[in-house]
Amino acid sequence: MESNSALSEIIEGVLADVNNRLVPISILEKQLDQAPVLRDAYSALNKKELSLIAEVKRSSPSKGALATISNPVELANSYQAGGAEIISILTEERRFKGSISDLVSVKSAVSIPVLRKDFIVTEFQVYESRIIGSDLMLLIVAGLSKSKLRDYFQLATGLGMQVLVEVHDMSEVESALEIDSKIIGVNCRNLKTLEIDKTVFDLILPRLPENVLKVAESGISTRDEVEKIESLGANAILVGETLVKSGNPVHTIKELLNR
């Protein structure tokens, strides 16, 4: 990983923040008994029609502030009402202005699965994800060594969570398939430069195996784009910026999905 890339800078901050929350794994293991019941994210995405993962997103490294979300529960409820199958909650604090409390409050308010969207780079965060009620957890291939990717994937699934494994190129796809990923997210945003390149969808989506659920991530804002992505074989789209800026997320979801 390039030391000056946006991804490595974000991970550096994440590690510093994790350090402030760190407790022994033995304590986390005891807390698992009180963890919220899990919902089936795989089934939520495994439908004939295209599914939508709607994101609670205040800010991003590429665009800065996107929306003032003072009430994430209200936003998540509108996402559910609009027909979203999963709510994605950013829990990274520095660049995305997210928080763990956002996820905890949304999980208890909605009846659909929630995705913890963060840069999971430690074993601690995997346990933490389960304890706070994440049904689905993100692992970014570009941010992990092969051994850590495998270990965290196995730990997460062992704890009952499902994992969205994010890729940006075909070599990362190989790593994702080697660990038997069931849900693969194709992100067209380069995490080193933060630039969007939608040809990544054309390149990767049609080449993913039939038995894998395929999620298209980043830069999706119009019905035409959604149709194109669906024609490439995607089972789901993940949309954040377009929804938080729309002013009427229920209408925007229905528009994007043509429902």
Report whether 103 contacts 114 (CB < 8 A): yes
* Cβ 113 vs Cβ 135: under 8 Å: yes
Q: What is the pLDDT of residue 193?
A: 87
Concerning whether 166 is annotated as a catalytic residue, the answer is yes
Helix residue ranges per DSSP H, the chain: 6-21, 25-31, 41-45, 72-82, 100-109, 123-132, 146-158, 170-178, 199-204, 223-231, 241-244, 249-257
Catalytic site residue from 217, 230, 235, 241: 217
Phi, psi of 223 (to 5 degrees): -60, -40
For the chain, state the CA radius of gyration: 17
* Active-site pick, 51, 59, 107, 117: 117
Domains of the chain, residue spans: 6-257
- Per-residue pLDDT, 88: 97
| Model confidence pLDDT, tens digit, residues 215-251 | 999 999 999 999 999 999 999 999 988 998 888 999 9
172 an active-site residue? no
Q: Which of 92, 166, 172, 241 is catalytic?
A: 166
Active site (annotated) includes residue 175: no
Distance between CA atoms of residues 238 and 115, nearest Å: 11
Q: What is the mean pLDDT of the chain?
A: 94
Q: Which CATH architecture is the domain 6-257 placed in?
A: Alpha-Beta Barrel (3.20)
Which of 51, 57, 85, 92 is the catalytic position?
Answer: 57
Q: What is the pLDDT of residues 149-186, one digit of tens each?
A: 999 999 999 999 999 999 999 999 999 999 999 999 99
Tally of residues, the chain: 259
